[in-house]
Structure 1
């Protein structure tokens, strides 16, 4: 539990630095302490009472409510005015969406264009495409409000072309839904506006193949060591005396790196297809726990539209899942059937005696591979390759959570719009908290979801909706999340004789 708390603390501090530090002067370590307080209280409770004891509901709710109120109060106490908040630079991907619907600041209105340029800007809006009614100057943007008179995609492309002919790459042209449901255009200073020499330099900095390769090799080492000792059960003393035993960990390490790598490469190549500036996949090696904290890419330029946002987001989980399936089926075939553990030893982390009935999909896969040999009262001692596939399944589910900046959050945003995405994200966080009360193994997930912002960076054209094929794929990804998390109902378990 304490190891998980330390890991959670590191992730929480990173999220706080990224999302909270730019908007408040309150010391980040104070906000981080408040964010971590519920997890610390729950960890202490489990250390005193044991993990097999059910935590009282008040121990869950009271720390959350108190710390949430403190969290909001501390941020507001040192809130930085919007006009003073840090703007993204060409070296950093903007992680927070610009709230273009905020009320104007009391400070003096900033006019980033001249009267002549304003007239030229008004001429960029043909009345038959988008009837411009007024320009609204904000510290961080020029809002162009009016009435949409044609299809959103056609309007965006037409007006974007007109504005770029007048201003070049001086502004990013955003197209967003307003609070009243009326789409508006916004011109935001373009942090990626550069000369050719700067573009060339940044491309070289973006692609760091030797750094990415070094992290990959280091992660291969750490995961192989963990796979040998923790997954294959080779004693540390034997490994020290016979280094060749390290090969026992390769099924785990190669399987896990393949799954994580395919996930991130699917994101990467889809982003490249849409000409989004993106780093290579970077693995995060650690010498304990799973041997890695996973892998990631960073997109360093805006997403052009909601179709691109959807495609980039859904490519990772689906790509990872497609490679996870055969590896998991292979690993299950190599696993050993063992007696079901006692209640105090039952856990989703107990790979030596894992009850596959915790997941509808996992149970179906086990029954598909092992058939009648797997019956009620039995569990699985997972082969190292099956452990890698099992982790791949969990990673797929976690990424498909429809919250904020997770892949699932992007998918829901692209399908239904940002406002609906925020509502779905909030409902998901509440449902996950309820699930954590029933199954404590999901408590860490619930905490992570509550710490994540509900909003994500909008696409430049955030109005044009998806087509039917993408909507179907999006719904499939949400169904996939449900069947991974949903335990096997009793009736189905009896029917499957497991």
Structure 2
């Protein structure tokens, strides 16, 4: 690739799809100013493979003030395109072709993944398998099922977003895992969308693909977890003198999966000195993360889905989310017994209420072509929120006296 846009498709190659009036090449990015001859999002979909072969990602921008042929600040100046038709003064759109990343090993992604595997192994072994890691460090690898389950759920969620973004030609990074050596071993994973989102359809597909893919993985992990034998809690842990314990409450989806497994006569009931297999907890965490990601606010998956379905009215929906979370926190504060350490689960919803307020203020993603979403996707979006509610419990955990 030349790096100057010289190898991008010529205006003549866009004939029949996009009428080019002027072209600007700046720092390797090529902008074709003009008018689409088909529906705007269809123009991008039609031309994307052609640009991909030349090493470019493609998106469409609206031009509120069309540039003139002699516009300054371009390199080289915007000029009428050979073979193009029309005047630059009537342009409303610009096709934007940006050079794709040349590739190579994503060392930051790899490093974070390795660190997250290490932290999840440590937390899984010490907290969920009750292994004395300090005395028997090599036994840490016995926690590999928990690591595979936890990172598998998170990774498949993010890869769902990644696959949908690549399908729509949106430039996106591979997942960044976040290590955190406490409770879960990780704070999740994220991807960075670097390209423009061309349409509501693309925004919806990218937003919904993560939760649906993650839920499939979560259900599979939970099913497997309930078939595994419970973990024996060592006496040193049961009599360790801890002043409090954390009880986790199951959402409706997990209760349904457990009931299904028990109906089949598979798995063993948890005894008085036992705990569920840690893989089950990985499924619980997957459901909890799914619900939080589906909050219809800002740049969360739920925010993308609602923005794609209802358009600008998403901001009204998002404004109600912090109030709902604060109301839930207040209800729990008034109705739940005081926990032994001074704060309870209500603080979780206060935290997410504050976070949701910030995300609502920042606003949702804005697709380039803001046309209504088709009914089929709207129905899928509503069904996805229904699945998200099945992953919700108002008291996901509580702290009690041991």
Q: TM-score range by the shorter chain?
A: 0.5 to 0.7
Partner of residue 220 from structure 1, selected from 114, 117, 131: 117
Shift of 1:428: 2.2
Deviation, structure 1 residue 355: 3.7
Residue 374 of structure 1 deviates from its aligned partner by 11
Counterpart of 2:188 (choices 291, 294, 300) is 294
Q: For residue 127 of structure 2, what is the aligned residue in structure 1? A: 230
Is 1:369 the counterpart of 2:273? The answer is: no
Out of 199, 203, 206, the residue aligned to residue 312 of structure 1 is 206
Counterpart position of 2:364: 456
Q: Give the structure 2 partner of residue 467 of structure 1.
A: 374
| Greater strand content | 2
Residue 209 of structure 1 aligns with which residue? 106
Give 1 or 2: higher helix fraction.
Answer: 1
Give me the whole-angstrom Cα distance separating, in 1, the residues matched to 2:169 and 2:155: 21
- How many Å apart are 1:324 and its aligned residue? 0.5
User: Cα RMSD (Å) of the superposition?
Assistant: 3.9
SS at match of 1:270: helix
Count of aligned residue pairs for this structure pair: 298
* Residues 1:379 and 1:481: Cα distance change in structure 2 (over 3 Å): farther
Secondary structure in structure 1 of the residue aligned to 2:360: coil
Distance in 2, matches of 1:449 and 1:175, equals 32
The alignment partner of 2:248 has SS state of coil
Please report how far the alpha carbon of residue 250 of structure 1 lies from its aligned counterpart in structure 2 after TM superposition.
Answer: 1.4
Gapped runs of 5+ residues in structure 2? Answer: 1-19, 22-36, 47-56, 65-89, 233-241, 333-345, 396-402
CA drift of 1:155 comes to 6.2
Distance 1:275 1:311 in 2: 12
Q: Flag the 1:456–1:487 CA change in 2: closer, same or farther, 3 A.
A: closer
Give the alignment's TM-score, normalised by structure 1. Answer: 0.53
Gap change, CA 1:283 and 1:188, over 3 Å in 2:
farther
Change (3 A) 1:156 1:272: closer
Q: Point out the more displaced range, 469-478 or 281-290.
A: 281-290
> Is 1:435 equivalent to 2:332 in the alignment?
no
> Match of 1:141?
none
> 1:335 Cα deviation (Å)?
6.2
Alpha-carbon distance between aligned partners in 2 of 1:312 and 1:487, rounded to the nearest angstrom: 28
CA 425–215 in structure 1, closer or farther in 2 if over 3 Å, else same: same
Q: 1:155 to 1:244 in 2, by over 3 A?
A: closer
Residue aligning to 1:411: 305
- Give me the whole-angstrom Cα distance separating, in 2, the residues matched to 1:284 and 1:250: 18
Aligned to 2:143: 249
Secondary structure of the structure 1 residue equivalent to 2:391: helix
**Residue of 368, 377, 390 corresponding to 1:483:** 390
Q: Which residue of 1 aligns with 2:4?
A: none
Aligned to 1:15: none
What is the CA-CA distance between 1:303 and the residue it aligns to?
Answer: 0.5
What SS does the corresponding residue of 2:178 show, helix, strand or coil? strand
In structure 2, what is the equivalent of residue 268 of structure 1? 162
Deviation at 1:429?
A: 2.0
SS in 2 for 1:293: strand
Going from structure 1 to structure 2, the CA distance change for 1:308 and 1:379 (only over 3 Å counts) comes to: farther
Aligned mates of 1:381, 1:442 — CA distance in 2: 27
1:392 and 2:286 matched = yes
Do the aligned partners of 1:367 and 1:374 also contact (CA within 8 Å) in 2? Answer: no
Residue of structure 2 equivalent to 1:277? 171
Q: Which residue of 2 aligns with 1:132?
A: none
Matches within 5 A, 1:20-35: none
